[in-house]
Amino acid sequence: MQAHTDQAAPTFPALHFLVNHGNVLALLLALCPPCGALLFWANGGSSAFLIAGALGGMFLYLIMRSYVDLVRVIVDMLLPK
């Protein structure tokens, strides 16, 4: 006798969102540190924060893009199509 289950396969909406919109999300998140540094500088802060904001934005973009690529590999290899 074969067991029958009526459960639907999980859909993982967060993973699919990252697969579809991950590049834009990575770019938008990477723009936050430079924009924050620019606002801080415009309000009288040190200009060193502009450099730190630019470097932080580049690093955040690299980290987010690698995360999005990792999610794409996971979705492509492990989730049923």
The whole-number pLDDT of residue 31 equals 97
Domain coordinates in residue numbering, the chain:
31-81
Task: Read off the pTM.
Answer: 0.79
pLDDT at 2: 59
List, for residues 34-66, the tens digit of each pLDDT value. Answer: 999 999 999 999 999 999 999 999 999 999 999
Instruction: Give the per-residue SS3 of 22-38.
Output: HHHHHHHHHCHHHHHHH
Q: Which residues, at least 6 apart from 40, have a Cβ–Cβ distance to it below 8 Å?
A: 49, 53
Q: Is the pLDDT of residue 1 over 90?
A: no
pLDDT tens by residue, 13-29: 999 999 999 999 999 99
